[in-house]
Amino acid sequence: MKIDQVSDSVHVVAGTNVNWALISDDSGITLVDAGYPCDTADVLDSISQIGHRPADVQAVLFTHAHLDHIGAIPALIEQVGMPVYTGAEEVRHAKREYLQQITPTGMLKQLLTARGRRWVAHTLWAVHGRVGMAVPQAEAVDPVIVAALPGGLVAIPTPGHTSGHTAYLMPSEGVLFSGDALVTGHPLLPHAGPQLLPAVFNHDEALTYDTATHLALAHAHTLVPGHGLPIRFDSPRIAAALEPRPPSPRH
């Protein structure tokens, strides 16, 4: 775990190949995303390391219901009982009314490369025993409620990676939490920098691309992605990095 402060109120924590963010003010903390199940202890520890207690968490906002973004939520609900929000469509995904994630075949294909084999081993360990987890307590983001939480966030529908994927913008400090709609690195990607995740992860590749090109126009100073390092938000650089890819079927 590595904690970086990227603005007055925002700490970004790098966990197991995934990030979560802590936004703090006098009234407490908003947690954006929650790591893998194996990151649960680190999520709680990161709250302590920035001088707060788990009870200070006012709400968890998650970008989407993949296991690497919801891992610590059950423990936090049990300990703190705070509300949990995501986009209205993603609520259905979080309740596992349907599932949009890399398939077993898609995982197996990663075994063809050394980089992929390392990622598969790491991932199987990170979700061990929790593959079937859901977030039945998830509620749809209400703009008024979310604006009143620490950070004063605005939810932005960002469909593609999942149908209900939701990014969050903190206008007061210019921080965009892009989740997996736009990342800056991943163990399966050969280089760092703003880009899409590999197509095997995206439910709708063409829509993921369209969404990312729109996100590149956001009014922000700092990009906090779900995977990879936070970077200065540079619209032209992001737009230039997003080269169209032909839609590919999910494996």
Residues forming the site for Zn ion (CB under 5 A): 66, 180
Are 212 and 196 in contact, with CB atoms under 8 Å apart? yes
Q: Which is nearer to Zn ion, 123 or 222 (CB)?
A: 123
Q: Which of 213, 217, 204, 186 is nearest to 250 (CA)?
A: 204
Q: Which is nearer to Zn ion, 70 or 141 (CB)?
A: 70
Q: Which is nearer to Zn ion, 50 or 107 (CB)?
A: 107
Q: Which of 94, 10, 75 is nearest to 37 (CA)?
A: 75
109 DSSP assignment: H
Closest approach of Zn ion to the CB of residue 161, in Å: 6
Closest approach of Zn ion to the CB of residue 239, in Å: 22
Q: Which is nearer to Zn ion, 36 or 233 (CB)?
A: 36
Closest approach of Zn ion to the CB of residue 64, in Å: 5
Closest approach of Zn ion to the CB of residue 201, in Å: 6
Q: Which is nearer to Zn ion, 100 or 222 (CB)?
A: 100
The angle subtended at Cα 39 by Cα 18 and Cα 199, nearest 5°, is 30
CB-based contacts of 51, cutoff 8 Å, min separation 6: none
Q: Which of 231, 187, 246, 235 is nearest to 212 (CA)?
A: 235
φ and ψ of 200, to 5 deg = -60, -20
Q: Give the count of beta carbons closer than 10 Å to the beta carbon of residue 64.
A: 30
Closest approach of Zn ion to the CB of residue 2, in Å: 20
HSE (side-chain half, CA atoms, 13 Å) at 133: 23
Closest approach of Zn ion to the CB of residue 10, in Å: 21
Q: Which residue is nearest to Zn ion (CB)?
A: 66
- Give dist(CA 24, CA 7) in Å, integer: 11
Q: Which is nearer to Zn ion, 5 or 248 (CB)?
A: 248
